[in-house]
Amino acid sequence: MKRLIQMILVGAGFTANIHTASAVFVVDDQVVSDPATFLGDPEFDSRTNQMVWQDALGDLWVADIDPATGDISPLDGKGTLVDSGLASIVGVGNGPEWTYGVQDAHIAYTRLINGTTRAIGIASMDGAGGWTTRILNDGFNRWRPEGTSPSNTSAARIAYIKGSGAGNQIAWRNIVDSTSETVATSGVDGARFVAGSSFLVSTAKVATVSQLQIIHEVTGQVTQITFGANHKYNPATFIAPEFNEPMITTMQNKTAVAVWRNVAGVWEKHHTINLPTSKGYVSSPEPFTYGGKSYVAVVAADALGVGNFPFQPAGDTEIWIAGIDPGQPFYRRIDDPSTNAQRSEPEVYEADFGPVVFYTETDPVAGTAIVRRADTGLGDTTGYDMPLYGGPWSVMHRDNRNSGSTPYEIPDAYVGHNLAFLKNVQINRPTMGPKGNIYIPYYDTNAGYARKFASLEAATGAVNYSHDSTVLLPDVTVAAGNLIDRNGDYYVSTEGAMNKLDSDGNLIWSTPIEGFTRSPQFTSTDKLIFLTWNGWVYVMEPSDGTILMGRTMTGWRDY
């Protein structure tokens, strides 16, 4: 695949856009909300294809997103009125946020009780496609909630500020268990969960410098993790597929984006992103991943500070995405460079054609706010140079290109059959059996994202069977790593177990393992061999699931 170097003319200067891609990037930046409606700071959920936002009257609205086009429906964002009486964003400092369990998504927000007391509200989808709302038990004098990420593999939780003035504390809890509330030993500015870990991250002034600190989710113990003279603001977290581990982004001195990685127990700066633009400040860095790589969506601005929001961009601004790999610089401006506007709050949504960035365009003079959608162009990126989810080290390849690609001849045409949308195609891979049937684990979008696996006829797409995987495989959080033996028996990994089922979907055995695998294979002596995402290698007896060897190769790492 050729490496293209594209030069984009912006204003009076040039900015380099270096990226491996299948086509030259063309800006696609469109208005997607009703210009007559003041619609600001929405939050997007790629799981349920919905958008949540709060209007100036304190009403909580949910609208649909079409994953095929990225369009908002209805255009004014007022699809379903979920709740009313929300506290002002200006006073609280944030609007409603999504929070995620293994398969469930909820909305957390700050309500105002009797016009004076703040409390946390929770909105949850019911089985009929509607919403139920409630005030959190023991939720009074708790506000500005932040939720767990879509990668969360346990119950949905929120972190928030506890208190009503002097003596505020950082606290967090399970959204259904008031007794689970834990309070940090120090800190007052709020916190966010570190994706894929048992920690939260926040900032605190040390002497005169804003530093990062992590908070142990069980004990509340606070540990400073950054040092030096540079200020760190507005931390956000993500799981980087390049390393299969949590990382943190921050604003550095309001002028750059810093990316942090835990190396052998010490948080180190992995990369500093200095945007190739004449704008001197950055705002709202939003990390995201796609195609096995990590990126940051961020605003470039001439100045920061709008009202009570010191980090909000002011004046004419730009929307950029950038890569986190210091060895392969990638910068791309994705908003329309032919127009000047005040742009803010980039939010990434994964459409069917690739990730897009929604952002708010504000006109302070006219008093309007609209939502625009800018395509990242990353959906065009493809090829064998794309890293696999979790890194190629954890995959046992069986073709001579070491690519994991099919060993069969590629046909000139395909016949498509639709079963259900695969929520994570990087993990949920189909496998063909010896009789031409296809086995596949998947999320059923027509049944509340129920975890299932099915057998299909490859020639016709007819469903032989489709089972609820939580019935046959209790406590399953993910199904991956399909393998078929010569008898048509089916081997599939779940979180913490390797399982064998017959061709009718009946469970034969289930053996506990560390983590889960994506690439089991048979040895030359017909034993089952596989690697797990967290560095274990196993050899098992296929007939009964006996572990013949189980050994960690990364014992120095804390997963």
Domains of the chain (ranges; CATH) run 3-380 (2.120.10.30), 398-515 (2.40.10.480)
Phi-psi region at 461: left, alpha or beta (left = phi > 0; alpha = psi -120 to 50): left
Amino acid 481: pLDDT? 62
460-472: average pLDDT? 69
Amino acid 364: pLDDT? 78
Within 8 A by CB and 6+ apart from 381, the residues are: 19, 20, 21, 22, 291
Count of H-run helices and E-run strands, the chain: 2, 43
Phi-psi region at 403: left, alpha or beta (left = phi > 0; alpha = psi -120 to 50): alpha
Exposed, middle or buried: residue 259 (CB in 10 Å: 0-12, 13-18, 19+)?
Answer: buried
As a whole number of angstroms, the distance between CA 220 and CA 141 comes to 19
- In sign, the C-alpha dihedral spanning 165, 167, 168, 172 is negative
For 120-156, letters b (16+ CB in 10 Å) and e give: bbbbbbeeeeebeeeebeebbbbbbbbbbbbebeebb
- In sign, the C-alpha dihedral spanning 533, 538, 540, 542 is positive
pLDDT in tens, 334-344: 999 999 999 99
- In sign, the C-alpha dihedral spanning 476, 480, 481, 487 is positive
Which tokens go with 6?
Answer: 């594209």
- Mean pLDDT score of the chain: 82
1-19: average pLDDT? 33
DSSP string, 424-454: -TTT---EE-TTSEEEEEEEETTTTTEEEEE
In the chain, the percentage of residues whose pLDDT exceeds 90 is: 53
Which tokens go with 421?
Answer: 């949308």
Q: Which range in 250-254, 403-407, 416-420 is most confidently predicted, on average pLDDT?
A: 250-254
As a whole number of angstroms, the distance between CA 497 and CA 149 comes to 24
Give a three-class secondary structure readout of 350-372. Answer: EECCEEEEEEEEEECCCCEEEEE
Amino acid at site 556: W
Which of 79-88, 91-100, 167-176, 361-370 has the least mean pLDDT?
361-370
Which tokens go with 450?
Answer: 């129920």
Which tokens go with 218?
Answer: 């069980």
